[in-house]
Amino acid sequence: MTHKVLCAVDDTEHSKSAVAQAAELAKATGSELTILAVNLPVGCEGRGGIKIYSWEDADANRVLSDAAAVAKKAGVSGAKTITVKGRDAARSIVVYAEDNGIDHIVVGTGGKGAITRFMLGSVSSDVVARAHCPVTIAR
């Protein structure tokens, strides 16, 4: 039985669909919902300097706030929101899930063609391959 649902989000329409599905799952099972954003490094300032991440804190907070609003609209209020920093989004999602007793993960997918998926990979495919629990992929 599902008790803790994790939904990984970014700033795409596909992740809004994932949040809606995660909220429906959490609502139907009476589960706790956590919404997770992974902030990926995009470079460094100077040699050995400060890492620069894909989102400023305010941007990550906006993404999470927007996702929480989607969950609330679907009938789940009080979703926990968290940002983690990591170099590998899929690994960060799975490690968070393992460390926090998550028993179902929901991720979004879409927007990439076959060549892009081959060259860059797919976060959702990597989560499915690595996860210790069921994974729902939302479109």
pLDDT digits (tens, 9 = 90+) for 31-41: 999 999 999 88
C-alpha distances (whole Å) from 7 to each of 10, 77, 123, 135 are: 10, 14, 13, 10
Instruction: Tell me the whole-structure pTM to 2 decimals.
Output: 0.89
Q: Which residues of the chain have pLDDT under 70?
A: 48, 111-121
Domains delineated in the chain = 4-138 (3.40.50.620)
- φ, ψ of residue 5 in degrees (nearest 5): -110, 135
Asked if residues 76 and 123 have their Cβ atoms less than 8 Å apart, the reply is no
Residue with tokens 């976060």: 123
What does the pLDDT read at residue 8?
96
Inter-axis angle of helices 123-130 and 89-99, to 10 degrees?
40
What does the pLDDT read at residue 101?
97
What does the pLDDT read at residue 121?
54
C-alpha distances (whole Å) from 89 to each of 2, 46, 70, 75, 86 are: 23, 24, 22, 28, 6
